[in-house]
């Protein structure tokens, strides 16, 4: 968790399927409606996060490239 209270998972340097496993482990600690931010630099992370959200009925709020490489994904927990 960051100082501002945002739940953050930094999975840079970790390869598939570890970023998704990290996300799945962390999201269960959130209340419904809370968001989690995942940083990942695995090329498969974008499609994997989107597919995981769809299969697990979570909401992929946004994704964007990180200035230092990789991507940032914001996911909202839905039940």
Active site residue 53: no
In the set 10, 12, 14, 16, the catalytic residue is 16
Exposed e or buried b per residue across 4-39, where buried means at least 16 C-beta atoms within 10 angstroms of its C-beta: eeebebebbebeeeebbebbeebbeeeeeeeebbbb
Contact 21, 48 (CB under 8 A): no
Q: Which residues are catalytic?
A: 16
């Amino acid at each position: 968790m960051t100082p501002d209270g945002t739940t953050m998972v930094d999975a840079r340097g970790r390869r598939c399927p570890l970023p998704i496993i990290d996300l799945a482990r962390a999201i269960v600690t959130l209340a419904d409606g809370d968001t989690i931010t995942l940083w990942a630099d695995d090329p498969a992370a974008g499609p994997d996060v989107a597919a995981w959200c769809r299969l697990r009925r979570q909401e992929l709020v946004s994704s964007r490239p990180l200035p230092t490489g990789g991507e940032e994904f914001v996911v909202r927990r839905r039940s």
